[in-house]
A and B are shown apart, each in its own frame.
Chain A
Amino acid sequence: MTALLDCEHLEVRFRTEDGEVCAVNDLNLEVQPGECLGIVGESGSGKSQSVLAMLGLLAGNGTATGSVRYRGRDILNLPRKELDQLRGDRLAMVFQDALSGLTPTMRIGEQLTESLARHRGLSRAAAKAKVLEILEIVKIPAPATRYNAYPFELSGGMRQRVMIAMAMLCQPELLICDEPTTALDVTVQAQILRLLDGLKRHTGTAIILITHDLGVVAGLCDKVLIMYAGRAVETGTAHDIFNNPRHPYTVGLLRSVPSLRGDTTADLPTIPGQPPNLEVLPPGCAFAPRCGQAIAACQASAPAMLSMGSGHAAACHRIDAA
């Protein structure tokens, strides 16, 4: 079976004034139709840059190498014209900050109908009808009024719904959501997640969900990929990751999730130290300086992904100790 999206040895580099920085290093992932993959990591771990690279949306000083295949077709080196036929139609993206992510000078309606006109060739009236329908689905109150509103006239939650509506318009096969709920308060966050879950169930859209919130992942994702300093450190089913984490970083992340069970007065465990500077990565495992179980080998060489069967793999020299 060909995967919907298949990404091999993806590497993203940025030219900066201080030299070249490698933001994503040898990333491999696969998404099947209808599946939800969660990519988890802290800021700067390369999770956003990896998906931006997949859609050819890197900033001007960034380059991506490796292969990204959509239904077997390499889209990383596709000419802009052909890529534009896929983006917004088969592959859509929801961005993190919906205020800066929507064009401030255009009405919501125009921004939404645009992609329908582009990918479906719909007339103005037909596109408007379709847009109003979608706004209804993402639970925007009074869609006909909001249709003529500017982004700054909507609340944060509504803007994010508009973002999702925009991405869903052409019923994409893959929806990439880059921290869709980070800027929102908790109740709105829950509504948005329920919305995504409903979309996944009803339309069979595959989702890549980028987040640093493991709670969000647990509720929504089938598979999880944990990233650290530009590399995948552990990947597996949500069940594997939550019940049998093998990489010390994953273990640390899970331990630092607040829980209502047990001793709620105790200090929340944290992972000591800071993520490394990508410009001066240590030669060995990037997590070694913060790892309680590091041995000499960890400082010497970067561990490769070791499979533990059924899609569960971790990149750690001490995989058996963890």
Chain B
Amino acid sequence: MSAFILRRLLIAIPTILLIATASFFLMHSAPGGPFDAEADLEPEVLENIRAAYNLDKPVIEQFRIYVSNALRGDLGPSLVYKDFSVTELVAIGLPVSVKLGATAMLVALLLGGFAGIIAALRQNQFIDHAVMAMAMTGIAIPSFVIAPILALFFGLYLKLLPVAGWNDGAWQNMVLPVVALSLPQVAIIARLVRGGMLEVMRSNFVRTARAKGLPESQVVIHHVLQSALIPLVGYLGPALAGIMTGSLVIELIFNLPGVGRYFIQGALNRDYPLVMGVVIIYAAMIIVLNLLADLAYAALDPRVRRAYR
């Protein structure tokens, strides 16, 4: 198993390099530059600034400098937040984004899993139809639509919760972003779990378990759940990616000081090192989380466990 983990981490290195390369050249091929917004700079001044950040050199040369710095752990200075290095900005934003994302994922798993199980156990009854109708709605409405509606309703009309802001991660401030971020995932996970449950409930080994005279609760807990959750694990990777990209938008809407905000503003301002830094961090996180999902897979399915050896 540890050989498997090591192998996966080694493969991650070329993967991240590839992602970094692609995003570097994509970004530099976009028109505009980081200092376009600064009004009426003397050409000489602009030239000096560009030279200071190596922007006067050929793109290939810039890439070489960036990679060699990055390998030494230096992600460079931010071109727009001039007093901060990219590492510092990420260090400020990442805890916020991780707390938000992890909470949303947890909520999605618990709520979606619970709803899916209940729906499957009450197949074709009212509660099943209700859960599935809500799930369809949740999938159909994107979070950037849900978020402002939530803020409007619970923030402005009912005045129950703050409309925006982080407030050091107070729970009142977390509720709306977490709900907006997790809702589509709750819906997808509920459907997946329901489907997995129904599939497994029809299988021969469940019939065997019933033939043993086990009560239905024991049949479900011991024989059904573990197998039924396997399709969910396959979805964990995409779900995490969905939550992380979703959080870019949600952080902007709720004005949260997470990494997502830097990413979007960095991209708009052509703050090359900042965008690169965030892309690399995100890529690394997605790779690690996918690895965790694969390990969860192994934990649920003994056949996979043996294949990983």
**A interface vs B, CB < 8 Å?**
52, 55-57, 59-60, 80-81, 83-89, 92-93, 95, 97, 100-106, 110, 114-115, 118-119, 150, 152-153, 163, 166
Contact = CB atoms under 8 A, between A and B. Distances in A.
- Most B CB contacts (10 A, CB to CB) among A88, A92, A110 go to A88
A92 B227 contact: no
- 3 interchain residue pairs of minimum CB distance: A88-B213, A88-B212, A87-B213
A84 B203 CA distance: 19
Given A80-B216, A103-B227, A152 B208 contact: no
Interface of B: 202-216, 218, 222-223, 226-227, 300-303, 306
Contacts of B207: 52, 57, 95, 101
A57 B302 CA distance: 27
Given A59-B202, A97-B204, A150-B303, A106 B223 contact: yes
Majority-rule SS of B interface residues: helix
Contacts of B303: 104, 150, 152
A237 B152 CA distance: 80
Given A84-B215, A103-B222, 11 more contacts: A55-B211, A56-B210, A81-B215, A86-B213, A104-B302, A105-B301, A106-B223, A115-B213, A115-B214, A118-B213, A150-B302
Given A88-B213, A89-B213, A105 B226 contact: yes
Contacts of B204: 95, 97, 100-101
B211 A92 contact: yes
A88 B206 CA distance: 13
A56 B227 CA distance: 23
Contacts of A89: 213
A102 B227 CA distance: 12
Contacts of B203: 100
A95 B210 CA distance: 12
A150 B303 CA distance: 8
Contacts of A119: 213
6 contacts: A57-B207, A57-B210, A87-B213, A92-B211, A101-B205, A106-B226
Contacts of A52: 207
- Most B CB contacts (10 A, CB to CB) among A105, A163, A166 go to A105
A103 B213 contact: no
Contacts of A150: 302-303
B211 A87 contact: yes
A225 B302 CA distance: 42
Contacts of B210: 56-57, 87
Contact of B227 (A86, A105, A166): A105
Given A95-B204, A150-B302, A115 B212 contact: yes
Contacts of A110: 222
Given A103-B205, A103-B208, A106-B223, A84 B301 contact: no
A87 B300 CA distance: 29
A118 B227 contact: no
A60 B120 CA distance: 13
Contacts of A86: 213
Contacts of B301: 104-105
Contacts of A92: 211-212
Nearest to B207: A57
Contacts of B226: 105-106
A49 to B, nearest CB: 12
- Most B CB contacts (10 A, CB to CB) among A93, A101, A102, A103 go to A103
A55 B213 CA distance: 10
Contacts of B216: 80
A102 B208 contact: yes
A292 to B, nearest CB: 38
A83 B216 CA distance: 12
B214 A104 contact: no
A153 B208 CA distance: 19
B300 A105 contact: yes
Nearest to A150: B302
